[in-house]
Amino acid sequence: MSSTTAPGGDSPSILETPTLDTESRELLHTISEHGGYAYVSMAAMAAAGDFRAAEAAREMAWEQLHSGPWHSVLPVWRDAYSMACLHVAKHHYGNGELKEALRVLDMGIIMGGTLLVKDLHSAVDKVSEKARNAKVCDGRCEDLENSDHRLVGQEFNMTKVLQLLPVKSLTSKLVVKRSALSLEQFLTDHYLSSSPVIISDCMAHWPAKMKWNNIDYLLRVAGDRTVPVEVGKNYLCAEWKQELITFSEFLQRIKSNDYSPIGPTYLAQHPLFDQISELRKDIFIPDYCFTGGGELRSLNAWFGPAGTVTPLHHDPHHNILAQVIGKKYIRLYSASLSEDLSPYPDTMLSNSSQVDLDDIDERKFPKVADLEFVDCILEEGEMLYIPPKWWHYVRSLTPSCSVSFWWSEGESSDAY
């Protein structure tokens, strides 16, 4: 058994791991079959309470996760990493080191496999609850309207913003905007015809509309959690990189406009709501996402400061982009223009255009400036429907929190 219970029942100083208790023997056997004898030895010592052995096992699994391309990593090593993270977290939790325990558990969720994910999440819930109870209450309630604690203020200089946008922005055809669009109208006027539309007045009931603009709330529910972020102009730039930082550090970077020399920090296309259940309770899946008998494929968060850019690309699924906090500029080109937008020949980037809309090379791409597009400024509380394969460029005009809902026809689903 990898955890023990004190006489008389569950001890508050122990993290219970029922799946690990049941599956550890078989998992260690599988690891040994793939040459992980040293890991198995360290894991056995870790299960007996040896912290150094637990850290050593985690390092061994980490090295395996980075031994080649992510898709080539054997699933058993991801589960091995989760196992080691649980052992390390138990030590920190038992010593009252709650932030350290949360950090390790988040690493297990982000980088580990699926076998022990229930144990990881239940451990996070227990650690988070203890951390909240341990904080000294100063007798004040969260002031969701206090401007000093708002992520996004009211100031917005449209003249200045227009100078930052790609050429011809907001001078041609704007995306159609419909208020409280019925499902039937959405199906007939937009879904079946693959026509983008902005839907307003559909998010007023979301708790996120008020809560996510309050920094104190975000710090309380997610401040100590570790999240993956992108740093740099965008993913097509050579200097672009990824980091793992706490959500509190991420919020500080947004609030202070603390750009690195290579660009802003962006929490982009991350399944944050699988990781932090409190935030998942603040949003609702739009009914539009079940149009056509489809099923939700992914549910991702996009948080970042003003100036973050997602370069011109397309996605394979129907997409509702819900703008919870802040504003974004979005330009869309029809899927029929794919050849003219010069996708990268590289398979990994074949859904991305070689055209940089912020600095178009007219000699290399002479036709792009004349291609028809629609664009918009997506305001707080609005949703944008992006049909499959439609090319889109996105720029945050203010600090911004968005949620994307991908769906398509099919029987399988990896979102809930």
Which amino acid, residue 22? T
Q: Which of 134, 169, 203 is the last residue of a domain?
A: 134
Q: Report yes or no on 11 lying in a domain.
A: no
Percent of the chain with pLDDT over 70: 91
Say if residue 149's pLDDT is above 50.
Answer: yes
- The residue ranking higher by pLDDT, 405 or 161, is 405
Residues 77 and 110 in one domain: yes
Q: Give the integer Cα–Cα distance in Å for 60 and 63.
A: 5
User: 235 with 89, same domain?
Assistant: no
Q: Distance between CA 30 and CA 313 in Å, rounded?
A: 40
- Out of 97, 118, 134, a domain closes at 134
Same domain, 302 and 191: yes
Q: Please give the average per-residue pLDDT across 38-56, as a whole number.
A: 97
Decide: 399 and 254 in contact? Cβ < 8 Å: yes
Judge whether 151 lies within some domain: no
Q: Which pLDDT score is estimated for 272?
A: 95
The answer to whether 226 and 112 are in contact (CB under 8 A) is no
Tell me, yes or no, whether 179 and 108 share the same domain: no
Within 10 A of 48 (CB to CB), how many other CB atoms are there? 11
Whether residue 332 is predicted with pLDDT greater than 90 in this model: the reply is: yes
143 in any annotated domain: no
Using DSSP, state whether 193 is helix, strand or coil: coil
Over residues 384-404, the pLDDT tens digits come to: 999 999 999 999 999 999 999
Across the range 234-261, mean pLDDT stands at 83
| 13 occurs within a structural domain | no
Q: Is 370 helix (H, G, I), strand (E, B) or coil?
A: helix
pLDDT of residue 10: 54
Between CA 166 and CA 170 the distance in angstroms is 10
Asked whether residue 334 carries a pLDDT value surpassing 80, the answer given is: yes
Among 113, 121, 89, which residue's Cα sits nearest to residue 103? Answer: 89
Give the mean pLDDT of 18-46: 97
Are 162 and 118 part of one and the same domain?
no
- CA 343, 346, 351, 357 torsion-angle sign: negative
Same domain (yes/no): 126, 259 = no
Examine residue 202 and state whether it is found in any structural domain, yes or no: yes
Burial 110-119 (b: 16+ CB within 10 A, else e): bbbbebbbeb
Distance CA 303, CA 231 (A): 13
pLDDT of residue 151: 87
CA–CA distance, 73 with 136 (Å, rounded to integer): 44
Q: Which two tokens stand for residue 301?
A: 């968060």
Question: What strands lie across the sheet with 309-313, from one edge to the other?
Answer: 173-174, 374-378, 328-333, 391-396, 309-313
pLDDT the model gives residue 408: 86
| Pick from 130, 128, 131, 109: nearest CA to 119 | 109
Domain shared by 187 and 93, yes or no: no
Let me know whether 76 and 207 are in one domain: no
pLDDT above 80 (res 11): no
Residue 56 domain-assigned (yes or no) = yes
Quick one: 208 and 267 in the same domain?
yes
- What's the average model confidence in pLDDT over 311-316? 96
Chain centre to alpha carbon of residue 113: 17
DSSP 394-405: EEESSSEEEEEE
User: 373: closest CA among 362, 361, 382, 386?
Assistant: 386
Q: Per-residue confidence at 263, pLDDT binned at 50, 70, 90?
A: confident
As to burial, measured by CB atoms within 10 angstroms (0-12 exposed, 13-18 middle, 19+ buried), residue 380 is: middle
pLDDT computed for residue 9 by the predictor = 46
Give the CATH number, domain containing residue 195: 2.60.120.650
Residue 140 lies in a domain: no
| Selected residue with higher pLDDT from 236 and 138 | 236
Q: Answer yes or no: do 347 and 243 share one domain.
A: yes
Put residue 263 in one of left, alpha, beta given phi > 0 → left and psi -120 to 50 → alpha. left
Phi-psi region of 180 (alpha: psi -120 to 50; beta: other; left: phi over 0): left
Number of domains in the chain: 2
For 7, the token pair is 């006489």
Average pLDDT, the chain: 90
Which residues are within 8 A (CB) of 221 and not within 5 positions of it... i.e. 6 or more apart? 276, 278, 279
Cβ atoms of residues 379 and 327 within 8 Å: yes
> For the segment 53-87, what is each residue's pLDDT rounded down to a tens digit?
999 999 999 999 999 888 899 999 999 999 999 99
In this structure, are 97 and 167 located in the same domain? no
Do 188 and 120 share a domain, yes or no? no
pLDDT tens digits, one per residue of 71-128: 899 999 999 999 999 999 999 999 999 999 999 999 999 999 999 999 999 999 999 9
Query: pLDDT per residue over 192-247, tens digit each?
Result: 999 999 999 999 999 999 999 999 999 999 999 999 999 987 777 777 888 999 99
How long a stretch of residues is the chain? Answer: 416
Identify which of 191, 202, 189, 185 has the alpha carbon closest to the alpha carbon of residue 294: 191
Give the model confidence (pLDDT) of 339-383 as tens digits: 999 999 987 889 999 999 999 999 999 999 999 999 999 999 999
- Residue 138: pLDDT above 50? no
Q: Is residue 312 part of a domain?
A: yes
**Parent domain of 64:** 18-134
Whether pLDDT at 47 is above 70 = yes
